[in-house]
């Protein structure tokens, strides 16, 4: 397994101090960027590793929007090379591709969020989202990934994309309620820290990471004290809107950083994200929009091509990033 290229001293570095992120100079920063989807599904379907280009020009296009962060969704079995995942796109080949892509993103001054997105218990293949990370493989995934990147100060680990259909007790400690033994967030924190990795960790709440109501009460123990809350905000899923942001999210943001790991609207417009970004900007909350892929407006696409030509939704987001970042 390759060792990621060390980030030069004085370059990208991220830590949590209090309820915000700081860079290597101790300046308060936010993660403001995009999701680059593909690495969670291409490999397991035997299509490749990336959906679209992963070259220098494509990353330069992301940087040109004044992004400083890219969230990269990952597939558990492809990373570990298990359960008959396609050999050409799994194991060492997959890991090497991810390491090289992270290094390329850093070259373009991007922090990288590495997200455990698709998982499957037992001998099943991860071909969709499941209620919670599985105890069979997710801890091993995080031991392997954290070992790979533990010397990279410019990555953040998003421990599980979108928990759903489980209780807060299950979220923290694991359970059998989805029909398999889940890995609780505490066990995933422990897996990362067992490697000596000290990077910030993002933990998504319940209800597809839309519910942070009990996040503080069930916050795992972390010897590094480097935990951030991950929140997902979509127009189609507006259980938590402005009143809820003020009543539920704001108290969390006063104690730990909140990273909006996913944010978007599927109607080609920007009204919802503009409202959310104004709130997030006022509360020091980070956000990475879904998604830097060419799927059309109904697929939340920010772009129409990988040179960075925006959709109407993407144009609004780009304008906002360029105005504030």
pLDDT tens, position by position, 123-158: 999 999 999 999 999 999 999 999 999 999 999 999
Closest CA to 8 of 104, 107, 124, 92: 107
The share of the chain scoring above pLDDT 90, in percent, equals 93
The answer on pLDDT for 9 being more than 70 is no
**Per-residue pLDDT, 2:** 56
**Per-residue pLDDT, 325:** 83
pLDDT tens profile 160-174: 999 999 999 999 999
The share of the chain scoring above pLDDT 70, in percent, equals 96
- pLDDT level of residue 6 (50, 70, 90 thresholds): low
The answer on pLDDT for 307 being more than 50 is yes
Average pLDDT over every residue of 14-43: 97
* CA gap 125, 140 in Å, rounded: 16
Burial label, 287 (beta-carbon count in 10 A; 0-12, 13-18, 19+): buried
**Per-residue pLDDT, 240:** 84
**What is the set of domains in the chain, with CATH numbers?**
15-324 (3.20.20.80)
pLDDT tens profile 207-266: 999 999 999 999 999 999 999 999 999 987 656 889 999 999 999 999 999 999 999 999
- pLDDT level of residue 10 (50, 70, 90 thresholds): very low
The answer on pLDDT for 183 being more than 70 is yes
């Amino acid at each position: 397994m390759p060792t990621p290229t060390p980030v030069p001293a004085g370059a990208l570095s991220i830590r949590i101090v209090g309820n915000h992120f700081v860079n290597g100079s101790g300046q308060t920063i936010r993660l403001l960027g995009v999701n680059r989807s593909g690495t969670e599904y291409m490999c397991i379907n035997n299509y490749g590793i990336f959906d679209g280009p992963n070259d220098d020009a494509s990353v330069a296009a992301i940087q040109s929007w004044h992004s400083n962060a890219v969230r990269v969704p990952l597939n558990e079995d492809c990373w570990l090379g298990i359960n008959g995942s396609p050999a050409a796109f799994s194991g060492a080949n997959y890991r090497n591709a991810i390491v090289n892509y992270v290094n390329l993103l850093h070259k373009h001054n991007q922090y990288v969020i590495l997200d455990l997105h698709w998982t499957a218990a037992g001998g099943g293949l991860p071909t969709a989202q499941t209620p919670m990370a599985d105890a069979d493989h997710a801890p091993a995934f995080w031991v392997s990934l954290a070992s790979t990147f533990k010397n990279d100060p410019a990555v953040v680990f998003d421990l599980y994309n979108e928990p759903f259909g489980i209780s807060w007790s299950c979220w923290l400690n694991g359970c059998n309620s989805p029909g398999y033994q889940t890995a609780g967030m505490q066990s995933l924190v422990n897996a990362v820290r067992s490697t000596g990795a000290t990077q910030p960790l993002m933990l998504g709440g319940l209800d597809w990471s839309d519910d942070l109501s009990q996040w503080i009460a069930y916050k795992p123990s972390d010897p590094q004290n480097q935990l951030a809350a991950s929140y997902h905000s979509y127009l189609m899923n507006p259980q938590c809107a402005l009143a809820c942001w003020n009543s539920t999210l704001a108290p969390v943001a006063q104690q730990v950083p909140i990273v909006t790991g996913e944010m978007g609207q599927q109607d080609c417009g920007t009204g919802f994200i503009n409202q959310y970004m104004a709130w997030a900007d006022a509360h020091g909350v980070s956000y990475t929009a879904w998604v830097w892929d060419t799927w059309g407006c109904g697929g939340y696409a920010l772009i129409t091509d990988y040179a960075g030509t925006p959709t109407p939704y993407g144009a609004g987001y780009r304008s906002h990033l360029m105005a504030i970042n």
